Structure 1
Amino acid sequence: MAITSANQLELLQTAEAVAREKMIDPALVIDAMEESLARAAKSRYGSEMDIRVKIDRKTGRASFTRVRTVVEEDDLENYQAEMTVEQAKQYLDDPKVGDQYIEEVPPVEMGRIAAQSAKQVILQKVREAERDRQFEEFKDRVGTIINGQVKREEYGNIIVDVGSGEAILRRNEKIGRESYRPSDRIRCYIKDVRREARGPQIFLSRTAPEFMAELFKMEVPEIYDGIIEIKAVARDPGSRAKIAVISYDNSIDPVGACVGMRGSRVQAVVNELQGEKIDIIPWNEDMPTFLVNALQPAEVSKVVLDEDAERIEVVVPDEQLSLAIGRRGQNVRLASQLTGLDIDIMTEEEESTRRQKEFEDRTHLFMENLDLDEFFAQLLVSEGFTNLEEVAYVELDELLVIDGVDDDTAKELQARARDVLEAQNRAAMENARALGVEDSLVEFEGLTPQMLEALAKDDVKTLEDFATCADWELAGGWTTVNGERVKDEGVLEPFDVSLEDAQTMVMTARVLLGWVDPTDVGADEDGEESAGETTEEEEAGA
Structure 2
Amino acid sequence: PLENVEFGRIGAQAAKQVILQKIRDAEREQIISDFLDRKEHLVNGVVKRIDRGNAIIESGRVEGFLHRDQMIPRENLRVGDRVRAYLLRIDRGARGPQVVLSRTAPEFVMKLFELEVPEIEEGLLEIKAAARDPGLRAKIAVISHDPRIDPIGTCIGLRGSRVTSVTNEMAGERVDIIHWSAEPAQYVINALAPAEVSSIVVDEDKHSMDVVVDEEQLAMAIGRGGQNVRLASELTGWELNIMSRETAEAKQSTESGHTLALFIEKLDVDAEVAQILVDEGFSTLEEVAYVPLNEMLEIEAFDEDLVNELRTRARNALLTAAIVGEEQVEASAGDLLSLEGMD
| TM-score (structure 1 length as normaliser) | 0.55
Once the two structures are superposed, the pairs formed by residues 47-196 of structure 1 within 5 Å of their partners are 116=13, 119-120=16-17, 123-140=20-37, 144-196=41-93
Q: Equivalent of 2:166, from 269, 279, 283?
A: 269
Q: Which amino acid aligns with 2:272?
A: F
Unaligned runs of 5+ in 1: 1-40, 48-108, 438-455, 462-542
Identity of aligned residues (%): 50
Aligned to 1:328: 225
- Decide which structure has the larger Cα Rg and report it: 1
Shift of residue 121 of structure 1? 5.9
* Distance 1:412-1:118 versus aligned 2 partners, 3 A rule: closer
SS in structure 2 opposite 1:180? coil
**1:235 aligned to 2:132?**
yes
Q: Deviations over 1:15-61 (max 9, x none)?
A: xxxxxxxxxxxxxxxxxxxxxxxxxx96xx345xxxxxxxxxxxxxx
Q: Which amino acid aligns with 2:58?
A: D
Deviation of 1:231 (Å): 1.3
Residue 359 (structure 1) aligned to one of 256, 263, 277: 256
Whole-angstrom distance in 2 between the partners of 1:126 and 1:419: 74
| Partners of 1:388 and 1:285 in 2: CA distance | 30
What letter is aligned with 1:194?
Answer: D
- Secondary structure of the structure 2 residue equivalent to 1:436: helix
Is 1:403 matched with 2:301?
yes
Structure 2 distance, partners of 1:247, 1:259, is 14
State whether residues 32 and 62 of structure 2, in contact with CA within 8 Å, keep that contact through their aligned partners in structure 1.
no
Q: What is the identity, as a one-letter code, of the residue corresponding to 1:325?
A: I
- Secondary structure (helix, strand or coil) at the match of 2:90 reads strand
In structure 2, the CA distance between the partners of 1:430 and 1:176, relative to structure 1 (3 Å rule), is: same
> How big is the shift at 1:240?
0.3
1:224 aligns with 2:116: no
Letter in 2 for 1:403: A
User: Per the alignment, in what secondary structure is the counterpart of residue 315 of structure 1?
Assistant: strand
Q: Which amino acid aligns with 1:180?
A: L
Query: CA separation of 1:419/1:124 partners in 2, compared to 1, >3 Å: closer, same or farther?
Result: closer
Measured after TM superposition, the shift of residue 310 of structure 1 is 3.0
**What displacement does 1:415 show?**
7.3
Preserved contact between residue 173 and residue 207 of structure 1 (Cα < 8 Å): yes
What amino acid is aligned across from residue 279 of structure 2 in structure 1? Answer: S
Q: Answer yes or no: is the 8 Å Cα contact 1:366–1:377 preserved in 2.
A: yes
Equivalents in 2 of 1:424, 1:110: separation in Å? 81
After superposition, what is the alpha-carbon deviation per residue over 1:286-326, rounded to whole angstroms, capped at 9, x for unaligned? 23222211110000112333445433332211221111111
Deviation at 1:430, TM superposition (A): 5.0
**Aligned equivalent of 2:341:** none
User: Per the alignment, do residues 282 and 380 of structure 1 end up closer, same or farther by CA in structure 2, a change over 3 Å counting?
Assistant: closer
Alignment of 1:368-383 (within 5 A): 368-370=265-267, 372-383=269-280
Partner residue, 2:96: 199
> Aligned equivalents of 1:116 and 1:209: distance in 2?
48
Residue type matched to 1:295 in 2? L
Matches within 5 A, 1:446-461: none
Q: How many Å apart are 1:126 and its aligned residue? A: 3.0
TM-score after normalising by structure 2: 0.83
2: distance between equivalents of 1:393 and 1:115?
81
User: How far, CA to CA, are the matches of 2:122 and 2:302 in structure 1?
Assistant: 66
8 Å contact 2:152–2:178 — kept in the other structure? Answer: yes
- CA–CA distance in 1 between the matches of 2:249 and 2:215? 12
Give the equivalent residue in structure 2 for 1:525.
none
Cα deviation per residue 1:107-159 (whole Å; 9 max; x = unaligned)? Answer: xx999678646744652443233222222233335652122221222222112
Within 1, Cα distance between the matches of 2:184 and 2:228? 17
Measure how far apart 1:204 and its partner are: 0.7
**Mapped pair 1:435 → 2:332:** yes
Residues 52-78 of structure 1: per-residue CA shift (max 9 Å, x gap): xxxxxxxxxxxxxxxxxxxxxxxxxxx
Q: Tell me the CA shift for residue 334 of structure 1.
A: 0.9
Deviation of residue 269 (structure 1)? 0.9
Structure 1, 290-299 or 155-164: larger mean CA deviation: 155-164
Q: Provide the residue aligned with 2:143 in structure 1.
A: 246
Report 1:459-478 matches (<5 A).
none
Q: 1:313 aligns to what?
A: 210
CA 1:460/1:293 → structure 2, altered by over 3 Å: closer, same or farther?
Answer: farther
Q: Which has the higher relative contact order, 1 or 2, with Cα contacts under 8 A spaced 6 or more apart? A: 2
CA distance in 1, matches of 2:12, 2:127: 59
CA distance in structure 1 between the partners assigned to 2:80 and 2:106 by the alignment: 26
The 2-side partners of 1:176 and 1:392 are apart by 54
| Cα pair distance change 1:434/1:182, threshold 3 Å | same
**1:220: how far off?**
1.7
Deviation at 1:389, TM superposition (A): 5.6
1:157/1:168 contact within 8 Å kept = yes
CA distance in 1, matches of 2:170, 2:337: 50
Aligned to 1:301: 198
CA contact (8 A) 2:197 2:213 kept: yes
Contact 2:142 2:151 in 1 (8 A): yes
Are 1:257 and 2:158 an aligned pair? no
CA contact (8 A) 1:233 1:243 kept: yes
Output one character per residue of 1:504-538: Cα deviation in whole Å (capped at 9) or x when no partner. Answer: xxxxxxxxxxxxxxxxxxxxxxxxxxxxxxxxxxx
Q: Distance in 2 between matches of 1:433 and 1:195?
A: 48
The counterpart of 1:338, out of the listed 224, 232, 235, is 235
